[in-house]
Amino acid sequence: MDRLESGLDICVCADDDVCLNRTVYAIKTETEGRCLPELCVHLFHEYGLISHYRLDAATLWKLFSLIEEGYHSSNPYHNAVHAADVTQAMHCFLQQEQILPFMEPQELLACLLAAIAHDLDHPGVNQTFLIATSNYLAKLYNNTSVLENHHWRSATSCLIESGVMESLRDIWSSLQDQISALILATDITRQQEYLSHFKLQDFQHNVLVERDAKLFMYAIKQAMALDVSNVIDY
């Protein structure tokens, strides 16, 4: 629980935005290696999600610890530091003035959870390898977005196992839809499909004049599809 206090303290004590102004490596050092759960607690607090959904702090910490454990530390790229890095990038994206004022709490929740869990339990090999070796995951998901399907279902398992789902019962179904859509958007083989739907000019017009939820989600998916990170953790 000390690390939970530390995560909350960061946001209380910071005189700047710790997420925007520090690299994930700096946060990793400050948190003694627990950058993912501490960053997540911090962001959930900053976005008001803990109070809005009346989330129990210890249960929330359990969720982020489960997700952290679900990342393979032996994986040089798709590990918990990469997840923290992408979550930080998502936070930067959400902070844009054309975006943040138009976000509903559930959308913020979905975006952060999707970023946090977007590579959860990544085995360190790609879909082509999984299909070629007849891996059980490839069979389970019919050779389609194999890893991404596994990531979002693993995220669902963590939400249930941690007990956080109990606080989200009223939005559980739609929240699952949003998280799955966002994580599935990280399938690199489908990025062109999302790009073809997304036009920045349309996005800006619709957000500023009238909120277009569908187009808006394309923008968020775009942020996910970029999977903007090149952290390699040795």
Which residue's CB is nearer to Zn ion, number 45 or number 87? Answer: 87
User: Quick check: 187 binds Zn ion (CB under 5 A)?
Assistant: no
78 is catalytic: yes
* Spatial distance between the Cα atoms of 160 and 168, rounded to a whole number of angstroms: 10
Is residue 122 annotated as involved in ligand binding? no
CB 134 within 8 A of CB 115: no
User: Which stretch, 7-15, 49-57, 117-125, 161-169, contacts Zn ion (CB under 5 A)?
Assistant: 117-125
Q: Is 151 annotated as a binding residue?
A: no
Question: Count of residues binding Zn ion (CB under 5 A)?
Answer: 2
Paired tokens of 110: 């979905």
Which listed residue (38, 68, 119, 187) binds Zn ion by CB under 5 A?
119
Q: CA distances (Å), 96 to each of 18, 19, 41, in order?
A: 16, 14, 21
- Interacting stretch for Zn ion, rule CB under 5 A, among 44-52, 112-120, 173-181, 215-223? 112-120
Nearer to Zn ion, 148 or 227 (CB): 227
CB 220 within 8 A of CB 106: no
Torsion over CA: 65, 69, 74, 80 (sign): negative
Nearer to Zn ion, 119 or 148 (CB): 119
* Whole-angstrom distance, CA of residue 123 vs CA of residue 132: 15
CA–CA separation, 119 and 149 (whole Å): 10
Q: Known binder of ligand: residue 52?
A: no
Footprint of Zn ion on this chain (CB under 5 A)?
119, 227
Residue list for the binding site for Zn(2+): 82, 118-119
Tell me the catalytic residues: 78
